[in-house]
A and B are shown apart, each in its own frame.
Chain A
Amino acid sequence: MEQLLQHLVNGLVLGGTYALLGIGLTLIFGLMSVVNFAHGEFYTLGAYAAFAALALAGLPFFAALLAAIAAGALLGALCERTLLRPLRGHSIDTIMLVMIGVWIAMQNAELLAWGGVARSIPHPFPTAPLTLGPLNIAPLRLFVVLTAAALIGLAWLLIQKTRLGTAMRATFQDRDTAALMGVPIGKIHTVTFAFGSALAAAAGALLGPVFLAYPSMGDLASLKAFSVVILGGLGNLAGATLGGLLLGVAEELGAGYVSSGYRDAVGFVAIILVLLFRPAGLFARAERIG
């Protein structure tokens, strides 16, 4: 029983971070229809930005988090302006191919800049775990989960309650009408991509200290993010959040009770089963955007 509880707790912590990755991508993939294979690279960027801020510049932890978010937003905006905007109107596969190129370029640029050695990102939390009965949880992980939840909440607020959010939703629901209503379509696209990338960078800055920062850390992150987005329904923030949590828990339970070697397989099989019975994702009945 204790083992089960510990697995559940681990799964929720992991899932929280999957959720954060997922909501960034659900905006980019779900709303903008960009198959962003480079999403994981913004995650990596966030981790390295945090490393640079903490280990090299000696900034406090929150400042490092902000630095990572800023880096993600800036590079995301740049990407959108220089690569995606000129290619808008081309097929989804063409855009996917460009993002594959960006993925390869970014990862190898990071390898060149930082070397292949994994970097440990220092953090201000004590390493001794908090013990609640039979459960152990590290303070850092608890912080990560809480911050992720806060960021998800902020994202939801932005999308649902602000004018910018309304403009975003309008643009992706019906572009021409939105344009007629005076919404600056180009700017909205840039902001959306930047926002999604910033969220990925935030996830990287949060998870970097938990694990390690190394150039290929984004590959698995991209894959998990896509799974979460599709499970939860494209463009569905709540769906991505729940989907992320569920994936995390499923993986932990699978690794704990089935086999550690087949850990990722559990996630995959779960996805296949879900899509077999609910072809439009877990939360198909929920509103398409937000």
Chain B
Amino acid sequence: MCKRLISTALVGLVALALLPAGGGAQSSAPIKIGVIEPLSGPVAASGNYVRMGAEIARDWVNARGGVNGRKIELQIEDNKSDPKEAASAAEKLIVRDKVPAIMGAWGSSMTLAAMPKLEEYGVPMVVETSSAASVTKRGNPWVFRISPPSEMEALGLEQYVDKLGVKKVDFLAVNTDWGRGSIQAFGDMLRRKGVQVGAAEFMEQSATDMNAQLTKIKQTGGDTLFLTTAVEQITLVLKQGQEQRLARKIVTTGGSSSPTQLIKQAGAAAEGSYHIVFFMPWFPEAMPDGRLAKAFVDEWTKRGNPFEGLTEGFRGHDGIATIVEAVKLAGRDEPKAIQEALWKVSITGVNGPIKFEKDGPAGKESGQSKPSIFIVQVRDGKVALPDFLKK
């Protein structure tokens, strides 16, 4: 009896999946925007922060009356930190939910896996986090990125290299496209400035013990360590570096370092470290649109979201804001029109101005915006502007 019940339930579940999707859109029906993020798996925290930022953007837009008289709705999918799932999620959003635009998919390999679907169906996607250069160089005209590729990040740091007093540098990065891309980009930039490059070590994404790598780095005689990985591993590296008495300048790249969380979890080990970030929630007034940034921080805190998530959450807001502006300019929620409108978007998000330039092979360019890049430092257990910037 029980067996039949369970079996029937399972069959029912499968049948549910095969049901045709719901009815067509009416002119007052909400505009659906697809969101693909890693909401489970090893980077679930980051994916959820982006989602929280997107939800704030959605609520603000709806509070102001929506777009073209219609409210917006977010259709959120989990890519489970797996490229195959990212592609499936994109397919489902486009075909079943009929979204006219998507934001996603956080990690570069997930974004790259979803990109062929964009071309297949002709739906634009705003890329909010991925940093691999190839995302905008593959000749996919449906891709619009608001996050900086590693090369752009390195250029953003170039002006401070002398002030930092860097003579010999070592790299420690997570063994993903992001970490490797970062080492490449920053290595090239530093070499151009005459800085010596020592060791380049890697750590697996799930690794917790970096003592071997740190022991090796200690031997190179460098004065600075560039670190590219997620905040959990940065915490571990800082703590283990302290245990090994690795006395070096630390510079983290990639914008995911969440200095607030570092201070909480690494304590004294984080003191003095520099961090490249794309949002400074500690002094939002210093951002290009100070009022918007402050309002975002306040709303985020009001919702009880963790403060340390702000350095990533803003991406969700800016991504949705970009899509909404494009829908407004297009006048309708049709994918091709939105894609054309994205080229005309010129707004200021939490990070700064968002305006797309052509990037990639001629005739099939993707859009790449030039985000603002900042550098902060941990001093006296708090986040502050770097000592060399204080006048």
A155 to B207, CA, bound (A): 28
A255 to B197, CA, bound (A): 20
Instruction: Say yes or no for B68: interface residue by CB 8 A criterion.
Output: no
Q: A118-B232, A120-B235 are in contact. Are A111 and B40 (CB under 8 A)?
A: yes
Stretch of B261-269, B318-326, B362-370 that contacts chain A: B261-269
User: Residue on A with the closest CB to B245?
Assistant: A136
User: Residue on A with the closest CB to B202?
Assistant: A261
Determine which of A117, A129, A252 lies in contact with B45 in the assembled complex, contact meaning CB atoms within 8 Å.
A117
Q: A3-B215, A3-B219, A129-B242 are in contact. Are A260 and B232 (CB under 8 A)?
A: no
The answer on a CB contact under 8 Å between B215 and A7 is yes
A282 to B202, CA, bound (A): 31
The answer on a CB contact under 8 Å between B45 and A138 is no
- Identify which of A129, A137, A138, A212 gathers the most chain B CB atoms within 10 Å of its CB: A212
Q: Quick one: which of B233-271 are within 8 Å of A by CB?
A: 235-236, 239, 242-245, 261, 264-265, 267-269
Proximity bits, B205-248, A CB within 8 Å = 1, else 0: 01111011101100100000000000110011001001111000
The answer on a CB contact under 8 Å between B219 and A260 is no
Instruction: Say yes or no for A206: interface residue by CB 8 A criterion.
Output: no
User: Residue on B with the closest CB to A139?
Assistant: B243
Instruction: Say yes or no for B387: interface residue by CB 8 A criterion.
Output: no
- Identify which of B208, B211, B264, B309 gathers the most chain A CB atoms within 10 Å of its CB: B211
Q: Quick one: which of A4-19 are within 8 Å of B by CB?
A: 6-7, 10, 14
User: Residue on A with the closest CB to B266?
Assistant: A120
A136 to chain B: which residues have CB within 8 Å?
243-245
B243 to chain A: which residues have CB within 8 Å?
127, 129, 136-138, 141
Number of A-B residue pairs having CB atoms within 8 Å of each other in the complex: 98
Instruction: Say yes or no for B341: interface residue by CB 8 A criterion.
Output: no
A74 to B236, CA, bound (A): 31
A225 to B264, CA, bound (A): 31
A177 to B201, CA, bound (A): 57
The answer on a CB contact under 8 Å between A252 and B212 is yes
Q: A120-B235, A260-B201 are in contact. Are A211 and B45 (CB under 8 A)?
A: no
The answer on a CB contact under 8 Å between B264 and A120 is yes
How far, in Å, is A103 (CB) from chain B's closest CB?
14
Instruction: Say yes or no for B116: interface residue by CB 8 A criterion.
Output: no
Q: How many residues of B contact A (CB 8 A)?
A: 42
User: Residue on A with the closest CB to B265?
Assistant: A120
The answer on a CB contact under 8 Å between B48 and A116 is yes
A116 to B48, CA, bound (A): 8
A215 to chain B: which residues have CB within 8 Å?
44
How far, in Å, is A51 (CB) from chain B's closest CB?
12
How far, in Å, is B160 (CB) from chain A's closest CB?
28
A7 to chain B: which residues have CB within 8 Å?
211-212, 215
A106 to B174, CA, bound (A): 27
B47 to chain A: which residues have CB within 8 Å?
116
How far, in Å, is B148 (CB) from chain A's closest CB?
24
A117 to B312, CA, bound (A): 13
The answer on a CB contact under 8 Å between B204 and A252 is no
Instruction: Say yes or no for B65: interface residue by CB 8 A criterion.
Output: no
Determine which of A14, A214, A254 lies in contact with B209 in the assembled complex, contact meaning CB atoms within 8 Å.
A14
Q: A117-B45, A118-B45, A212-B265 are in contact. Are A127 and B206 (CB under 8 A)?
A: no
Instruction: Say yes or no for A190: interface residue by CB 8 A criterion.
Output: no
User: Residue on B with the closest CB to A207?
Assistant: B208
Determine which of B202, B208, B231 lies in contact with A211 in the assembled complex, contact meaning CB atoms within 8 Å.
B208
Q: A3-B215, A10-B209, A138-B243 are in contact. Are A116 and B45 (CB under 8 A)?
A: yes
Q: A212-B232, A261-B175 are in contact. Are A129 and B245 (CB under 8 A)?
A: yes
A261 to B210, CA, bound (A): 11
Q: A116-B43, A261-B175 are in contact. Are A6 and B215 (CB under 8 A)?
A: yes
Instruction: Say yes or no for A216: interface residue by CB 8 A criterion.
Output: yes
Q: A212-B235, A263-B207 are in contact. Are A127 and B41 (CB under 8 A)?
A: no
The answer on a CB contact under 8 Å between A260 and B216 is yes
A214 to B235, CA, bound (A): 13
The answer on a CB contact under 8 Å between A256 and B212 is yes
How far, in Å, is B52 (CB) from chain A's closest CB?
11
A252 to B236, CA, bound (A): 16
Q: A116-B45, A216-B206, A260-B202 are in contact. Are A211 and B212 (CB under 8 A)?
A: no
Contact sample, A vs B, 17 pairs, CB 8 Å cutoff? A10-B215, A14-B209, A115-B44, A116-B48, A117-B261, A118-B265, A136-B243, A136-B245, A211-B236, A217-B208, A252-B209, A252-B212, A255-B213, A260-B212, A263-B204, A263-B207, A264-B204
Q: With A116-B48, A129-B243, A260-B202 given, name 6 new contacts (CB 8 A).
A: A7-B212, A127-B239, A211-B236, A214-B232, A216-B41, A256-B216
